[in-house]
A and B are shown apart, each in its own frame.
Chain A
């Protein structure tokens, strides 16, 4: 990486009493990227964002913003701004006054404030609402006020806490795109916290996956999807079918894996992860093909046709396995139409290429 990081998070640990919310987290945020902190609720992602903002102090570790150590700098003196989950728009100020507030605190001349506020409101398409009070705005509009209010301060990094969680589904999709466009036009890095993997995948340049206060994997959305580092990440990012490996043996440069359901699988030994007390085999639904006859090649399981969930351009097909478990496959429109003709419970065969399988360390539970 040639560019200097805009934010360096170094060995951040946060404890609340005996509970460890964050454990030794380090990463860099590059200039001009959208960086997502992704994890299930309670993984510590919001706490991490608040530590970057200066609203929470880390028990150990440093936050470096633009090359300066900000660990002891209070929130009101940090060159980052935040869009809160509740938006926290000041109810007693008009839209324009809300946006102007941060500039007023900088003692910027009034005329300059007015033009900057106007620009910022233009940017979030709220120009004609500048004299409204917040209670006359919709949720989406309030969020734009919060965005304008933060961006008008020209922060080095914009922090967003669950930016889309309070919006309804339709607006959420539109806002995803709009946030990405906004980021492109203003050029500052966005750091967003989210629990929604599809949101992170769609918007972020890089994603940090957190679980139980630990950083599990930090990578681009594609890499996370194609090369998850463990079973948790694979399961959390997108849909996946998992098979527990009961035993494995190496022979030369091959490794042979036994599972309860599949025929023995042979993979190159290089697929073995470094630490592997227990392993799991995984295959994405879109790699799984369905046939009524046994195919000549590939890994195959027999099962009964379960539910077919229509999704428009594709359908999610459930194949019920003899042991009661199920795997899912993604079927194209045409294929789904054929499958719909079969009766539920018909014997079918799901198959895929062995090299489409991922060998992952299983969750240590």
Chain B
């Protein structure tokens, strides 16, 4: 009599192997539990040691965070830096991507490597080098300058580390551009500039948007490089949180962090949507 045989689970059938299911669960807990704890305790009605004992639900720390002027100022700074540095990062990134995609020139691999350098070198080194660079070249912008100008040093620093990411994304988008499209436009009478404006930029658009959103989130939560380039009057949100944590972790910090997490998630989700849109069409 034929024995009834059950298919054995394949090595990567996560849904059918208990051991894999358990490890998946453990990994998820390890990754997300701290974030969940942070969010949960932002609603904890306890002034000190807020992240240990649950003392009831409250939203008052959100109100407190919003009334903390220095925290709000840091938050505004962070958004302004992210916004301005993103614009420049995308512009520079797009130009770099077009050069790398379009032209062949001597030492191109070296140039490509140099563009990617800020992605690979440790942030702490970049932070130190930028701080040294700004002070030794006297490029230090006085902190009493009017609002966005006082952030110039931080903005410059953020552009340097975020534009390579934008360049990479836009370059990827360009690599699946059909050159016949460009030739067709020329054949119809377009000049080089008209081809760029009417054909190439629309093609790059999903890459430009995805690159911008990535640059924005990178700038939003950068701590290390900002720490080395900020002054006493140019505190950003991550730097501010760090200084507050040094005394004690109050639910107020939890609340502010929760808001930042939400903003980052939102922007990342948008970035991913544009990325998938980009992969969706040819």
Contact = CB atoms under 8 A, between A and B. Distances in A.
B190 interface: yes
Contacts of B187: 53-55, 75-76, 81-82, 150
Contacts of B198: 90, 101
Contacts of B60: none
| Most chain A CB within a 10 A radius of its CB, from B188, B205, B281 | B188
A102 B189 contact: yes
B180 interface: yes
B180 A85 contact: yes
Contacts of A90: 181, 184-185, 198-199, 202
Nearest to B194: A105
B48 interface: no
Sorted nearest first, the 7 A-B pairs with minimum C-beta distance are: A102-B188, A88-B184, A88-B180, A92-B202, A105-B189, A84-B180, A75-B186
B264 to A, nearest CB: 30
B15 interface: no
Contacts of A81: 187-188
A135 interface: yes
Contact of A75 (B178, B183, B194, B282): B183
Given A88-B178, A105-B194, A76 B184 contact: no
Interface in A235-250: none
A101 B180 contact: no
A153 interface: yes
A91 interface: yes
Nearest to A81: B187
A101 B203 contact: no
Given A85-B180, A105-B194, A91 B186 contact: no
Interface string B170-182: 0000000010110
Nearest to B191: A76
A281 to B, nearest CB: 45
A76 B190 contact: yes
A91 B281 contact: yes
A32 B106 CA distance: 48
Interface string A83-126: 01110101110000000011001100000000000000000000
Interface string B188-209: 1111001000110011010000
Given A76-B190, A85-B180, A88-B178, A101 B185 contact: yes
Given A76-B190, A102-B188, A153-B188, A88 B183 contact: yes
Given A81-B188, A150-B188, 9 more contacts: A53-B187, A55-B183, A84-B183, A88-B181, A92-B203, A101-B188, A101-B198, A135-B281, A150-B187
Contacts of B189: 76-77, 102, 105-106, 153
B178 A86 contact: yes
Interface residues of B, number: 20
A30 interface: no
Contacts of B184: 82, 84, 88, 90, 146, 149
21 contacts: A53-B187, A54-B187, A55-B186, A74-B186, A75-B183, A76-B190, A77-B189, A82-B183, A82-B187, A84-B180, A84-B183, A84-B184, A88-B180, A88-B184, A90-B184, A90-B202, A91-B281, A105-B188, A150-B188, A153-B188, A153-B189
Nearest to B184: A88
A308 B203 CA distance: 53
A106 to B, nearest CB: 6
A39 B128 CA distance: 64
Contacts of B186: 55, 74-76
A85 B186 CA distance: 16
A63 to B, nearest CB: 15
Contacts of A91: 203, 281-282
Nearest to A74: B186
A81 B178 CA distance: 18
A77 B194 CA distance: 14
Nearest to A152: B188
A101 B194 CA distance: 11
A149 B185 CA distance: 10
A90 to B, nearest CB: 6
Contact of A105 (B181, B190, B205, B281): B190
Contacts of B202: 90, 92
Contacts of A101: 185, 188, 190, 198
A243 B10 CA distance: 60
Contacts of A75: 183, 186-187
Nearest to B195: A76
Interface in B152-184: 178, 180-181, 183-184
Nearest to A106: B189
A97 B202 CA distance: 14
Contacts of B190: 76, 101, 105
A74 B281 CA distance: 31
Contact of A149 (B188, B191, B199, B205): B188
A105 B194 CA distance: 9
B124 to A, nearest CB: 43
Contacts of A74: 186
Interface in B115-149: none
A88 B180 CA distance: 6
Interface in A197-232: none
Nearest to A85: B180
Contacts of B194: 105
B195 to A, nearest CB: 9
A40 B205 CA distance: 39
Nearest to A99: B188
Contacts of B178: 86, 88
Contacts of A105: 188-190, 194
Interface in B187-234: 187-191, 194, 198-199, 202-203, 205
